A and B are shown apart, each in its own frame.
Chain A
Amino acid sequence: MEIPAQRRSESERVVDLDHAATTRLRPEAHAAMEPFLTDRYGNPSGAHATARDAVRALDEAREQVAEHLGCAPGEVVFTSGGTEADVHAVSGGLPPRSGVPICPSTEHHAVLATVDVLGGTVLSVDRAGRIDLDDLRTRLAWLRTAATEETGPGPSVVSVMLANNELGTINDLDAVADVLADVAPGVPLHTDAVQAAPWLDVRERAAAADMVSISAHKFGGPRGSGVLVVRDRVDIAPLLHGGGQERGRRSGTVDVAGAVGLAAALAVTVADRRATAERVAGLRNDLLSRITAAPFAVRSTLGATGWPPPSGDDPDEVLPNFAHVLVADVDPEPLMFLLDAAGVRASSASSCSSGALRPSHVLSAIAAAGAGVEGAALRLTLGPETTADDVDHAVAALQAVIGRLRQHRSNPVVPGVAPDGSVPAVPTAGGTAVASGAGHS
């Protein structure tokens, strides 16, 4: 049987508005990695010239990363990515740190699931998805009391993401650290800075954290490469035991190319971060204001367009590339399907392994705090290479798709089968065939 080539249903043009998911490898990172994928293939654990060459490259990458993250080179642990870094920091390695890990309900699943498996405590958040500091204070105090009365373990770690991966909202880690110092001194603070690293100065924003996770592919580095910063003052066991690489904190042959690529991408990102953030925030604000304009009944989940943020406790404080919106009166699956076909790469609720859309735990959490989250959730995340043309295309596509879905909802085709056989349709002769004609593409 002959199978002809399929006509692509996508339009020619593709606009990537899913940079929070991953990003294209930056040319600088690619160039930096290339020798270590080919000629310079040494294992840094060896004792010969090829190994020493790899050690030197790894040392340089480590120094570069340390400088940009504001730590000592010896505090940088290269990992397989953000998830490993999060699980390591929250668990404290193998065996796990004794006590109760604590995090807010809007953390990434890498943190939440680890806290859950260790029997930890999950804190409430505000309507922007940020940690509720009063709840933190209360729980910490209660756990400390319980521990001193020997009726239960005390807190082991507090993990608070720097920026949320669905909404882009930013936590004030200095304020978190103040609560810790006040109520539970000595309990380490970890931050998942995976989404923040491309856009914020982690060195400054996460200065109060004892451990920091980042992931290379969010800022133009390779997938499968990450860093956990572990300040020297923190006790931590290895998560991966074995040959004792990374000062005994992370065994396994170090991915030199991955580390070098991460360092190179981070260097480029940091170099023009301020200018990029300002430009991208402008595009983001343009995108948001246009798609939330009447008559499309799309609203910004945070009601926020401002950048740079006026102050640390402004509820509108959000990463410059995030636009999270709620589209009333449409279902998320058809919305995503048609946007995809129109060449707009976006994200709805988080996806499960099968690819089906599942409700987002972040939206559930802010709904519990009183935020209205009705409608199809759509996360649009811009990147350094996003252009004004891209925004124009995305706005046009969104308006066409939403218009089509709304029109269909208000004027659906006669359903083929009654909801329940109890109300049978009396068929009319020669039933009319199908399809609201609009929007076939």
Chain B
Amino acid sequence: MRILVALSGGVDSSVAAALLVADGHEVVAVTLRLWGGPSDQGCCSVSDVEDARRAAAQLGIEHHVFDFAERFEQQVVEPYVADHAAGRTPNPCVECNRHLKFDALLERADLLGFDALATGHHARIVSVDGRRHVARATDTAKDQSYVLHPLVAPATDRVLFPVGGLTKAQVRERAGELGLRTAHKPDSQDTCFITASGGREAFLSPRTDLHPGEIVDVDGAPVGRVDAVELVTLGQRRGLSLAGGGDRRYVVDVDVAGRRVVVGPPERLQRTRVDLRGVRWNGPVPGDEVSVQTSAHGTAEPATITDVDIDAGRATVRWVRSRPLVAPGQSVVVYRDDIVLGGGTAERST
């Protein structure tokens, strides 16, 4: 096959490319230029492009750079800013996968005559009744199926995750055997356009107004202040300097317009359902019990799906056991065993 591999400059995508080359495919590497601003890690820095170029040279494959910065700004950064301004907690990696890697880049791969697009994600593609689904990686600790949930058939027919069946240790071992300079490169962890030094506040403050706010307890008594209500996440416990000791207190309500954050005991967070928007299903909507994951490294919990409106992209997740609420803006991903059936974005938990 003729395969375009998205080479980020990290160890996973380098080994993904190497595996495809070793299998005898015709492989061309591309690094996406997504972000022109300051960044200390992730997929966008000049040093990452250099690492990718050198890895491609070591593998004897062509390397190109595609500039998707404008789309990234429009489809990832701007919604990220708008979500924060509205008090939601977005997941930009999901949006990048949705709009950049498996829409724009997949379309580009097709335009350029490639049979498939490969990435270094830790996930697998498995067939269920003839339909190809994203599924959890062999290395469950590194599993990225959650952030890949917008990828559904028929696009899954054209996507390959060559390292999804390997553990991270095996990936590094392969990289070492091949002498790839990325073998010992640390994993990227956080949002690529947020610097460790400045954090979300440094990124958001030039782009949107951030407002200080009051923190009150559930009875309305003031217990502290925050610099930016927009940066407070529903369910958050750490990072709020609250007066007085006592029991653990969590953010149970964020009122951006009223500049007010309410904290309370953990039982105030317990919910039995969450409404979703922007839902996409890969195949039929499950009628029986499924497991549902609400954060990148969280565990999936049992639930059923109700109130499905496919055309409007709506559905409701009903938890088998009540659990803490899902912060609005987070991805909610529906699995059967290891297989992604669909997903959407959390709105209200009740």
* Interface stretch (choices B197-205, B278-286, B316-324): B278-286
Identify the stretch in B154-162, B239-247, B252-260 within 8 Å (CB) of chain A at 4 or more residues. B154-162
| Interface residue B169 (Cβ < 8 Å from any Cβ of A) | no
Task: Say how far B347's CB is from chain A's closest CB, in angstroms.
Answer: 12
User: Which A residues touch B312, using CB under 8 A?
Assistant: 422
Which of chain A's residues has its CB closest to B117's CB? A416
Is the CB of B60 closer than 8 A to any CB of chain A? yes
- Residues of the B chain whose Cβ atoms lie less than 8 Å from the Cβ of A6: 21, 26-27, 60-62
The residues of B that contact A9 with a CB separation of less than 8 Å are: 2, 26, 28, 62
* Chain A 359-387: CB-based contact to B (< 8 A → 1; otherwise 0): 00000000000000000000000000000
With most chain A CB atoms within 10 A of its CB, the pick from B46, B60, B110, B312 is: B110
B22 part of interface (Cβ distance < 8 Å): yes
8 A Cβ contacts from A395-430 to B: 404-405, 408, 412-427, 429-430
Size of the A side of the interface (Cβ < 8 Å), in residues, is 48
Contacting residues of chain B (267-296) with chain A, CB-CB under 8 angstroms: 277-283
B106 on interface, CB distance cutoff 8 Å: yes
A-B contact count (CB 8 A): 151
Name the B residues within 8 Å of A421 (CB-CB). Answer: 98, 150, 277-280, 313, 344-345
Shortest C-beta distance, B169 to chain A (Å), equals 16
A337-360 contacts to B (CB < 8 Å) = 337-338, 353-358
Are B107 and A427 closer than 8 Å at their CB atoms? Answer: no
Contact with A along B27-38 (1 / 0, CB 8 A): 110010100000
Contact B151 A417 (CB under 8 A): yes
Which residues in chain B, 78-128, are within 8 Å of chain A measured between CB atoms?
98-99, 102-103, 106-108, 110-113, 115
Q: Is B131 an interface residue (CB 8 A)?
A: yes
Q: Which of B26, B61, B280 contacts A424 (CB 8 A)?
A: B280
With the chains together, A439 CA to B113 CA distance in Å?
7
- CB-based nearest B residue for A424: B280
- A415-B108 Cα distance, complex, nearest whole Å: 11
Closest-CB distance, A418 to chain B (whole angstroms): 7
Contacts of B110 in A (CB 8 A): 408, 412-413, 434-436
Are A405 and B28 closer than 8 Å at their CB atoms? no
A351 smallest CB distance to B (angstroms): 9
Query: Given the complex, which residues of B lie within 8 Å of A334, measured CB to CB?
Result: 108, 111-112
The distance in angstroms between the C-alpha atoms of A374 and B181, with both chains bound, is: 42
- Is B67 an interface position by the 8 A CB rule? yes
Residue of B at shortest CB range from A357?
B67
Q: How far is the CB of B60 from chain A (nearest CB, A)?
A: 5
Majority DSSP secondary structure for residues of B touching A: mixed
Report if A354-B313 is in contact (Cβ < 8 Å); known contacts: A4-B21, A421-B278, A433-B158: no
Within 8 A of B (CB), among A1-38: 1-7, 9
| A405 closest partner in B (C-beta) | B111
B62: which A residues are within 8 A, CB to CB?
6, 9
Q: With A and B bound together, what is the CA distance between A433 and B131 in angstroms? A: 11
Given contacts A9-B28, A417-B98, contact A3 B60 (CB under 8 A): yes
Chain B 154-176 residues near chain A, CB threshold 8 A: 154-159, 174
Please tell me which one of the listed residues A3, A416, A422, A434 contacts residue B59 in the complex, with CB atoms under 8 A apart: A3
Q: Does A148 contact B (CB under 8 A)?
A: no
A435 to B106, CA, bound (A): 11
Bound CA–CA A425/B27 (angstroms): 31
In Å, the complex CA distance between A5 and B345 comes to 45
Q: Is B18 an interface residue (CB 8 A)?
A: yes
Q: How far apart are B152's CB and chain A's nearest CB, in angstroms?
A: 6
A432 to chain B: which residues have CB within 8 Å?
154, 157
A422–B313 touching, CB < 8 Å: yes
A151 interface residue, CB < 8 Å from B?
no
Q: Answer whether residue B310 sits at the interface, using C-beta atoms and an 8 A cutoff.
A: yes
- Inter-chain CA distance A441–B158, complex, in Å, is 19
Judged by a CB distance under 8 angstroms, whether A440 is at the interface is yes
A-B contact pairs, 26 of them (CB 8 A): A1-B22, A1-B178, A6-B27, A7-B26, A333-B67, A334-B112, A337-B112, A408-B111, A413-B107, A415-B155, A417-B106, A417-B150, A417-B155, A418-B280, A419-B103, A421-B313, A421-B345, A423-B313, A426-B310, A427-B152, A427-B154, A431-B157, A432-B157, A435-B110, A435-B115, A440-B2
Q: Within 8 Å CB of A408, what residues of B? A: 110-111
Docked CA distance A6–B154 (Å): 29
Given A355-B49, A421-B279, does the pair A431, B66 have CB atoms closer than 8 Å? no
In order of increasing CB-CB distance, the 5 nearest A-B pairs are A416-B155, A421-B278, A431-B154, A356-B67, A433-B157
Q: Which residues of A contact B113 (CB under 8 A)?
A: 338, 404, 435, 439-441
State how many angstroms separate the Cβ of A419 from the closest Cβ of chain B. Answer: 7
Cα(A2)–Cα(B178), bound, Å? 9
